[in-house]
Amino acid sequence: MISRPAAMPCQRYPRIRSARGPGGSKVRAREREVLKLINMLACCSIIAISATSAAAQTAPTGLGTVPDDAVAGTAPTGTPGQSQTESLEPAASAERESASSTDGDIIVTGSRVVSNGYQAPTPITVVGSQDLRNAAPNLTEALRQLPQLTGSTGPSTPSFTPGGSVSSTSSTANLRNLGITRTLVLLDGRRPPASGVTGTADISMFPQQLIKRVDIVTGGASAAYGSDAVAGVVNFVLDTKFRGVMGELRNGISTHGDGHSWAAEASAGFGFDDDRGSIVISGSINEQAPVDGRAREWANRGWAMVPNPLSGQAGQPQLLLRENVNLAAATYGGLITGMRRDGTRITTGPLRDIQFGADGSQSAYRHGELFTGTVEVGGDGPRYPAAIVSELNAKNIFGHAEYEFSNNFSVFAEGAYGYSRSEYPLLAPFFIGTAALVVQADNAFLPDNLRNAMAANGYSAIELGKVDMTFGQNRVTNTTKTLNLTAGFKATVGQFTIDGYYEHGESRYLLETSNQRINANTRLAADAVVNPATGQIVCRSSLTNPDNGCVAWNPFGQTPMTAEQRAYQQGAGFARSIAKQDVVALTVRGNLFSTWAGDVAAAVGAEYRDMSGTITVDPISQGIGFVATNPQPSGGGYNVKEAFGEVLVPLYRGDNFLQSIDFNGAIRRTDYSTSGGVTTWKLGLTSEVVSGLRLRGTYSQDIRAPNIGDLFGPRSRNVVAIVDPFNNNLVTQNVFTFTGSNPDLLPERAKTIAAGLSYRPEFLPGLGFSVDYYKIKIDDAIQTLSAQQLVNQCFAGDQGLCALTVRGADGRLTDVNGVALNIATVDISGIDFDASYQTRFAGGQLSLRGIATYLDNYTQEARGVAAVQYAGTGSFPSWRANLQATYTSGGTTIAIQERFIGAHRRVIPPVTIDQDHVPAVFYTNLTIRQQIEAGNAKPELFLSINNLFDKDPPPSDTNNISLGTSRVVDPLLYDTIGRYITVGGRIRF
């Protein structure tokens, strides 16, 4: 079996710590060095492969396809540590390693019952670590490529909407695109600390090198593991019994010459006191250079959806997909978008559409096609692409120690610390629409010809739309520090095993937004006049308050700002989030008694969790003082008390046809300090009809409890206009709305049905497949309605929503509390496919595995809001699949993965668009590994190429061109970097 050794220490690897933009000399020089290194290592790999490909070695791990029972989504049968098909299934050996625990028990993630021969009714996709490394060098990136986890975030994916609740560049698991808060992530069956007040775990903080496999329970598992398992469970299984030393060093860069990354991982494990004690330590460093959107041709094309002016006519769609869509309400130098006379805003007139060049010169703005007032196709308006990859620096360390006092009692202690820092540019300061800069007629920087034209037309002021790239984009920095401390024990009393542990975890997250523009200061600086006493240009506010520090600024053109001007307008914001979690858990499991059909096994237990979280922000953000990115403070906490039980009852054992029937049931009672008690349960049956053919099914009730962000998160205040049906549909202006958290939220409730089969035919050893249907319906789903929707539903008779509206004594609507409510329903169904085949071929080992998922239905609706069908649209393609082929001969392994994203509609019905077809996309990944004979050591060189054919992503995403920036693809669905080459080495002693 091939281990995961580390890099050959032949020379020091160069690294890029920062980028100076496309074409920067520093970046280019380092990139040339990296490319030379890649060429050198690639040549070394080819030479090593040529020299050793004929050498015969023991069968390596290969694809990582799970054995008979694991392909079926269950634990292996038979005696732990033995394989009935070992010669043909080397992957089974790896799976036995990861599935076996001490004392010969087999633990299945989908259940807390431990029993040899137990066939889990809950569908489980098991992916070995080598399988993941064959897909991508980084395990978290490889997980994101799995069909069931499409929509999961990565550590280098910049967010358009950073906030103070959770790091916007955390690695999160998102099963079935139901949301990261509906997917429960476990580390060795325990809840890791949350990376923010949303309660989600950052999987990039896990010890990557010690992960043996990942179990993905693709169905409800709340009865077994508690809240948040509505979509399922992703459990990372660690090798805490590792012995020896292993290390890895890798270096990568895109063939576009950017995005350089490097990583180093090392682990050591040893036993003491006749192996009764064990210590394992693992650490890693990971750095990633940024990728600027300007460096990709597809990102600069400016695709966007614009309204169709012929909409409503026969055969005409509502929207048009066009390239080169630009902002129409501003320019980089400034654009007059409106005038003011007697306090009234005027949008037509002789000064409208005069724009200012970089030097302040005036010209007529040239409009493009399909002008909407905000955007247009072509024209002189600005547009700049969003960042593609953020700069990342991550460090993690993990330690696990255990000691066996006797055969019946052992203790363990575990600690982990993770540090992650990412940075990327976000938005340039924008002054658009009603937020345009107001320039008075006596402004000192106003050109004389415009001042005269204003006087001739009676204008007191003009409005200037501007995207100020001269000031530069604000930069977002996310820093997360996570600590996890766990201590526990395991005891055997008769036929029962008792497990208990205490865990304390906390995450400290800091969001920093530098190069921010203080809105009020900018507007004061732009309101410049001539001081009649001195003849100098000063801020108007300084005439009455000379010591206010205001520095006058010319808003016309793109004149570089002076240090004094920048110091007055520039600021930095922050949000500090602290999330804490304490867990105490106890589980007792074992066989109760035996019947003619087998042992009746059971597990009972209790768990207590205490969660708390706070967000503090800077004063300017709290007052919504920056042009963009103003996180808000919040805080709160709650505790949970749980008791659960699970039972496995063999119902029937026979021969030939209908060989076995087993029943599995679970129930959990959960008491939340915020919302009271709730019960979850699961009923499941499995049956082996004939040898190798198994049927299974489950029916369960699951929950997702509101997290701290849902309950105590920040609220925002806005002013809107509402059509009031209580007042003859007259428009009521200046209605205050409050949106955000709600401490009265209740848990979401879900019913899950799963049914499927698995088959391992005896006539074709090495082949196995499973097919599983799932249906999940979530009631009381948490959603926020718009203020208009709340008022409409109140008018329709929903008295509960009427309580959220406030009217004055005259009946006029004054306030609408649009907080989050348990008001929605989500209905999702589909089919999962998993197939594998292993055989000897041409003197080597050939392994094939295919994983696919079909999304048949994804409907969401809320009271008073029409149902929306997401399946087959936008970020929810109906088909997603991975096919991986691995061939091993001697010490050489070649793995090819084909990732498929199905064709789908661009928009969600009933909306229509002229180009509604997003084509199917195939991505090819190639990995070549070469193991070298070196005594007891097992060095290995590897070459990995992601997106081998440099496939560009199709335009598929709605974007934010209305603020000047443009993102034209969904970065969670498609590859945005392009062809990426990684080389490295591993070694194990």
pLDDT digits (tens, 9 = 90+) for 271-306: 999 999 999 999 999 999 999 999 999 999 999 999
Structure tokens at 552: 């006058």
**Single pTM value for the model:** 0.86
> The dihedral of CA 330, 333, 339, 343: what is its sign?
positive
How many residues can be counted in the chain? 989
For residue 783, give the nearest of 811, 735, 748, 830 by alpha carbon. Answer: 748
Q: What gap in Å lies between CA 724 and CA 734, rounded to an integer? A: 12
For residue 484, give the nearest of 550, 398, 604 by alpha carbon. Answer: 398
For residue 61, give the nearest of 89, 80, 84 by alpha carbon. Answer: 89
Q: What gap in Å lies between CA 384 and CA 473, rounded to an integer? A: 11
Q: What gap in Å lies between CA 504 and CA 729, rounded to an integer? A: 55
Encoded amino acid at 360, one letter: G
| Structure-token match 């100020």, residue found | 468
For residue 932, give the nearest of 55, 64, 12 by alpha carbon. Answer: 55
Burial of 161 (0-12, 13-18, 19+ CB in 10 A): exposed
Strands 244-254 and 980-988: antiparallel
Instruction: Output the pLDDT for position 169.
Output: 62
The DSSP letter of residue 318 is S
Burial of 731 (0-12, 13-18, 19+ CB in 10 A): exposed
Structure tokens at 845: 């080992």
Ranges for all domains in the chain classified under CATH 2.40.170.20: 25-290+388-426+476-513+574-706+745-784+820-988
Residue 253 near residue 232 (C-beta atoms within 8 A): no
Structure tokens at 976: 């945005």
CA angle 316, 321, 326 (to 5 degrees): 125
- Bridge partners of 733, per DSSP, are none
Instruction: Output the pLDDT for position 43.
Output: 42
The DSSP letter of residue 295 is G
Structure tokens at 672: 């939340």
* H/E segment holding residue 413: strand 409-425
CA angle 671, 672, 677 (to 5 degrees): 40
Residue 686 near residue 676 (C-beta atoms within 8 A): no
Instruction: Output the pLDDT for position 870.
Output: 93
Structure tokens at 38: 């890649």
Instruction: Answer left, alpha or beta for residue 370, where phi above 0 means left and psi between -120 and 50 means alpha.
Output: left
Q: Which residues of the chain have pLDDT under 50?
A: 1-31, 33-106, 114-119, 166
Q: What gap in Å lies between CA 331 and CA 382, rounded to an integer? A: 6
Please state, for a pLDDT cut of 70, what percent of the chain lies above it: 86
689: Cβ contacts below 8 Å, ≥ 6 apart: 657, 658, 659, 695
Topology (CATH) of 25-290+388-426+476-513+574-706+745-784+820-988:
Maltoporin; Chain A (2.40.170)
For residue 188, give the nearest of 152, 221, 213, 154 by alpha carbon. Answer: 213
Whether the link from the prior residue into 954 is cis, omega within 30° of 0, is no
Instruction: Output the pLDDT for position 33.
Output: 45
969: Cβ contacts below 8 Å, ≥ 6 apart: 298, 299, 953, 954, 955, 956, 957, 976
Instruction: Output the pLDDT for position 113.
Output: 65
Structure tokens at 102: 């001490």
Structure tokens at 366: 């040239």
Residue 147 near residue 881 (C-beta atoms within 8 A): yes
Q: What gap in Å lies between CA 764 and CA 237, rounded to an integer? A: 30
Q: Report H helices in 186-282.
A: 222-225
| Structure-token match 């106003």, residue found | 446
Q: How far is CA 145 from CA 413, 422, 696, 973, in A?
A: 33, 22, 27, 9
